[in-house]
Structure 1
């Protein structure tokens, strides 16, 4: 680990933009951003139905030690989302309901962590959404320095302080702070297109094959349409 620091004056993406990206959800934002930014599938929600967007306050800790989460709470403000990782893999329950109580009081929208969490029933009851690598009651110590608000890597995705984090039942995606407004515009356009697609499919007027112009692609790839009798005859002939 580099020299331990707590950065106190991070630049954040616009809060309204982060919230709007959160409303669109992970799949839409991921597609709108060119299918980039996804956190690995090992980070999963402990609840269902939560959908949030917030600005990242990052924590880099030692495994089995939650000292720097305590330090990070002071740096959090309304609209943030706490993102925690460790210098090597750790499933210890570094986060529980007391941390969530303090963060919720500061307007923090949730937690994404590569560590384990505990008190999960309490977290769900209090409506504090969490995405983690594990649920584990193993406790941690408070003994080793780390850093707050430095760039970190979370399940393969780089997260910088102030970036937008979108999280829901599908997982987590990271939107670089400087791209947030552009990605939001692309996500808005994608939602409008999908709304029109949904209406067309729901009415039965069109198939996705035709609306998306996929029939020529099937032909180009050599896909044939046969009756069952033709297919069986070809199979019988050994073709």
Structure 2
């Protein structure tokens, strides 16, 4: 593993990041063709919070948070710190002191495949976290890793400068080069959902609006009366 700290990472423009944040994880995930999720194991320690920002990536050694210390220097206002380890580790490598330093620099939150601690303090200070575990187990500072290199989180590759969106539904990565295309697709999806919402409020059924009755028929699903069902299956 190469051990480097990459500086001067290019980021998406702030207005595009804010527009993606407004859409949220589920909408953008669908707009991206159901890709980009960082895994169902990453859960928020808070509720009702949505963030988006540019990724500062960190690759650490298991049980070691040295490179998180190195990453703080590379963070700018509006960033999201994304941390993983060279092999799986749920040790509590992040806590209130890191959050204090990052919050001072304008960082919007943390996404980590590892563990976090000082959770009550993190909630009280309003520093959002998505993690794979809450774990008081401490770490050392002894092994080199890398900052702002591509890392794998869940089934997604996260590169420095990609846009991270996170809310109650989980966390998602939008590659920086695709931000404008994803925004267009997400805007279109929101318009379509608004039309569907209005139709459902007017009484239309999703079976009809989405033309699903034909699919049911093709799959052999039959509509029968309760009497017919009981006759075919016997009464209980």
CA deviation after TM superposition for structure 1 residue 227, in Å: 0.9
Unmatched segments (≥5 aa) in structure 1: none
Q: Find the counterpart in structure 2 of residue 133 from structure 1.
A: 132
Q: Find the counterpart in structure 2 of residue 230 from structure 1.
A: 228
Instruction: Please list the CA deviations of residues 6-33 of structure 1 after superposition, one character each: whole Å capped at 9, or x if unmatched.
Output: 1001111222212211221111010000
Under a length normalisation based on structure 1, what TM-score does the superposition of the two structures give? Answer: 0.95
The 5-angstrom pairing of residues 111-130 of structure 1 reads: 111-130=110-129
Question: How far apart are the structure 2 equivalents of 1:118 and 1:191?
Answer: 37
Q: Find the counterpart in structure 1 of residue 169 from structure 2.
A: 170
Unmatched segments (≥5 aa) in structure 2: none
How many positions carry a matched residue from both structures?
Answer: 234
CA deviation after TM superposition for structure 1 residue 156, in Å: 2.6
Question: How far apart are the structure 2 equivalents of 1:96 and 1:233?
Answer: 63
Question: How far apart are the structure 2 equivalents of 1:46 and 1:85?
Answer: 17
Aligned partner of residue 132 in structure 1, secondary structure: strand
Q: Find the counterpart in structure 2 of residue 201 from structure 1.
A: 200
Structure 1: 4+ residue segments shifted above 4 A: none
Under a length normalisation based on structure 2, what TM-score does the superposition of the two structures give? Answer: 0.96
User: 1:219 pairs with 212, 217, 220, which one?
Assistant: 217
Aligned partner of residue 187 in structure 1, secondary structure: helix
CA deviation after TM superposition for structure 1 residue 202, in Å: 2.3
Root-mean-square deviation (CA), in Å? 1.1
Q: Find the counterpart in structure 2 of residue 62 from structure 1.
A: 61
CA deviation after TM superposition for structure 1 residue 183, in Å: 0.4
